């Protein structure tokens, strides 16, 4: 049909207007787009160039595998164990509270750890994983994995954490690791960047702390591509780090476990030392604690239980406990006098039960006295007056010098925490410390290991080893590093008269093997393994005149913290010394009744390499010893190999 010219003209006009409108809109859009492109490419170019450079590549640390620690026979005592944990990524979880509530219906969540995790989420970027549950079992991991679709942002992970398979036996020696704290970082001048990795573990005490640098190893690195907010987009390459060094200690794990079990609930310490090499075969403090509690951060309740225990389980009494050595110090007084030539081994002193010095009576433990005694009998019966007399003749400075020669008043270099130097005081020390003159009464007290004199169980073991060998043997704890044996330099001679040392050893033998010896009840009857020792009882309070007039209160009638300390030192076998032993029982009473029986048992255990035969004990003790051995077997960890060949 033919259209009217007017209609055609009208249609063309309408199309022209629409075309102009669309064209105008397109022009505006293109212009706006061009302006935006110019703005981004020209005016914002520097900012986006900087972001692109920052976002392109990031280098991150890979924690190395911590070196492991083994006993002298290769048994693990500190190792790395796979640890499963459940983490949450906040930005992927969405409603975190709902997700955690759903997770808690599937697995048990520790409330204290959960609260820490929530606090950590609030101060961490939303894309960083935060641990909700640590050290979970495989069943919980499987449960979380199966229910993953209903738990957005929740991921099961596996890593390595420190584990102490021997539990409490090595708590004081090996120590433990724990999460790096702000305090730890403040104590290090230039902290290793590794220490800033969340939940990184650092050696806190003991060997773990002293060998931290070697055990930690060196970090690896990985290059990752990240976006502007720091989220990892992909991993570009990886270079593994260097694992920490493995350490082997001189300690025998089975012997250590026996000594720990034998000390039981006593507040005590014991040291067993190889006389020739100085290797520590066992070094124990009781009571102890489980170091695994500290690895991930100990709970408030567990820590309070340890700190409020009057027996101080956190204290390593074997090296940090300083006690008056009591009568175990008499060998030092005797040697000082013998070497000075002020008396001979056969010279006698009369003991009426006391010695009067400057108007004051210094009593012997035996009120009736011991009569005339020489070196052997004075030590065998532990006569105090004999040593009062020697000390007045030789003087305190020579006694202190002899004490230091035998390792007392000297800090021994061991990789353990809080190793004390003890105290072997002389005249100059008192002047420096108190600005007072040394008194004759101070010398009398020091002669029997009282007064200012202090020694640790470790130092007493060193003293005994030097008496037995005549050499300046020093304690050692590290046997090898990464399989390379640590050198053992020969111990130099003490330079003492060997005849004097023989006389002293013979007197110590009489202490344990003569019927009148103070430790006769704790003798060994196996001729090949007889021991030579010395009992000691150190006072922790002064006995008043009123108490003496009343017959003195019995030790067991006093509150525990006011009772005397019990000590015993010995070496064995007497004819060919191999080991030196020291035992201290805090507030245990008499050394002959509390410390000597323990020392006899652990000496035999070390010599035999296993529970000793009953034939090594006197007949009257065998039923009791059998019952004790059965009890100890039931509580000691089972060995995982041949435990023989010690010492």
User: What is the helix, strand, coil percentage profile of the chain, to 5?
Assistant: 45, 20, 35
186 is catalytic: no
Backbone φ, ψ for residue 283 (5° rounding): -145, 110
d(CA 533, CA 524): 11
Long-range contacts of range 56-60, CB-CB < 8 Å, 24 or more positions apart? 56/225, 57/223, 57/224, 57/225, 57/226, 57/236, 58/223, 58/224, 58/225, 58/226, 58/230, 58/232, 59/221, 59/222, 59/223, 59/224, 60/221, 60/222, 60/223, 60/224
d(CA 258, CA 581): 14
Name the catalytic one among 286, 318, 327, 512. 327
Measured CA to CA, the distance from residue 507 to residue 532 in angstroms comes to 8
Task: State how far the Cα of 414 lies from the Cα of 416, in Å rounded to an integer.
Answer: 6
What does the DSSP 8-state code read for residue 587? T
Cα separation, 132 vs 104, whole angstroms: 10
How far is the C-alpha of 645 from the C-alpha of 61, rounded, in Å? 44
State how far the alpha carbon of 320 is from the alpha carbons of 173, 406, 561, in Å: 12, 18, 18
Say how far apart CA 351 and CA 582 lie, in whole Å.
28
Distance CA 272, CA 59 (A): 50
CB-based contact 369:353 (threshold 8 Å): yes
- Euclidean distance between CA atoms 362 and 309, whole angstroms: 36
Tokens 């020669």 appear where?
Answer: 405
Beta strands 371-373 and 268-274, pairing class: unpaired
Which residues are part of the catalytic machinery? 327
């Amino acid at each position: 049909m033919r259209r009217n010219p007017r209609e055609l003209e009208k249609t063309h006009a309408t199309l022209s207007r629409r075309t102009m409108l669309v064209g105008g809109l397109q022009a505006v859009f293109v212009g706006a787009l061009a302006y935006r492109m110019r703005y981004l490419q020209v005016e914002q170019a520097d900012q986006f160039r900087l972001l692109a450079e920052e976002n392109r590549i990031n280098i991150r640390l890979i924690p190395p595998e911590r070196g492991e620690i083994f006993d002298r026979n290769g048994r693990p005592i500190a190792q790395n164990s796979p640890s499963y944990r459940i983490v949450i990524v906040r930005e992927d979880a969405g409603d975190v509270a709902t997700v955690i509530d759903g997770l808690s219906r599937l697995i048990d969540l520790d409330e204290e750890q959960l609260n820490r995790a929530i606090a950590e989420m609030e101060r961490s970027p939303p894309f960083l994983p935060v641990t909700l549950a640590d050290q979970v079992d495989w069943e919980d991991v499987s449960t979380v994995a199966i229910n993953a679709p209903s738990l957005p942002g929740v991921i099961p992970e596996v890593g390595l954490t420190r584990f102490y398979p021997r539990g409490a036996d090595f708590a004081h020696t090996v120590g433990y690791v724990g999460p790096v704290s702000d305090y730890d970082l403040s104590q290090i001048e230039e902290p290793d960047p590794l220490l800033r990795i969340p939940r990184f573990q650092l050696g806190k005490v003991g060997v773990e702390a002293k060998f931290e640098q070697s055990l930690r190893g060196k970090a690896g690195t990985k290059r990752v591509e990240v976006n502007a907010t720091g989220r990892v987009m992909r991993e570009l390459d990886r270079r593994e780090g260097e694992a920490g060094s493995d350490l082997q200690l001189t300690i025998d794990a089975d012997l250590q476990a026996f000594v720990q079990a034998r000390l039981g609930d006593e507040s005590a310490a014991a040291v067993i030392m190889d006389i020739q090499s100085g290797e520590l075969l066992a070094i124990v403090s009781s009571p102890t604690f489980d170091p695994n509690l500290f690895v991930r951060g100990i709970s408030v309740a567990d820590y309070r239980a340890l700190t409020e225990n009057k027996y101080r389980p956190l204290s390593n009494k074997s090296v940090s406990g300083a006690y008056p050595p009591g009568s175990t110090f008499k060998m030092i007084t005797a040697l000082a006098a013998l070497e000075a030539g002020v008396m001979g081994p056969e010279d006698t002193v009369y003991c009426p039960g006391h010695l009067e010095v400057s108007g004051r009576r210094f009593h012997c433990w035996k009120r009736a006295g011991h009569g005339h005694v020489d070196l052997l009998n004075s030590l065998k019966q532990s006569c105090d007056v004999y040593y009062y007399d020697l000390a007045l003749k030789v003087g305190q400075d020579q006694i202190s010098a002899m004490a230091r020669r035998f390792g007392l008043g000297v800090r021994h270099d061991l990789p353990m925490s809080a190793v004390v130097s003890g105290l072997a005081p002389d005249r100059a020390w008192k002047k420096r410390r108190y600005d007072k003159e040394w008194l004759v009464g101070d010398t009398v007290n020091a002669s029997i290991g009282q007064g200012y004199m202090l020694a640790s169980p470790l130092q007493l073991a060193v003293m005994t080893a030097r008496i037995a060998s005549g050499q300046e043997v020093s304690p050692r704890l590290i046997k090898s590093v990464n399989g390379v044996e640590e050198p053992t330099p020969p111990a130099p001679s003490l330079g003492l008269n060997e005849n004097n040392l023989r006389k002293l050893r013979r007197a110590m033998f009489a202490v344990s093997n003569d019927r009148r010896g103070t430790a006769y009840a704790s003798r060994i009857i196996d001729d090949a393994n007889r021991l030579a020792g010395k009992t000691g009882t150190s006072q922790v309070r002064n006995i008043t005149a009123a108490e003496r007039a009343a017959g003195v209160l019995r030790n067991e009638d006093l509150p525990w913290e006011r009772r005397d300390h019990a000590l015993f030192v010995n070496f064995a076998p007497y004819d060919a010394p191999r080991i030196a032993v020291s035992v201290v029982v805090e507030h245990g009473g008499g050394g002959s009744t509390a410390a000597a029986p323990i020392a006899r048992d652990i000496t035999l255990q070390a010599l035999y390499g296993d529970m000793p035969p009953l034939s090594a004990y006197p007949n009257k003790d065998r039923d009791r010893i059998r019952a004790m051995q059965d009890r100890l077997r039931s509580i000691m960890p089972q060995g995982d190999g041949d435990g023989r060949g010690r010492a």
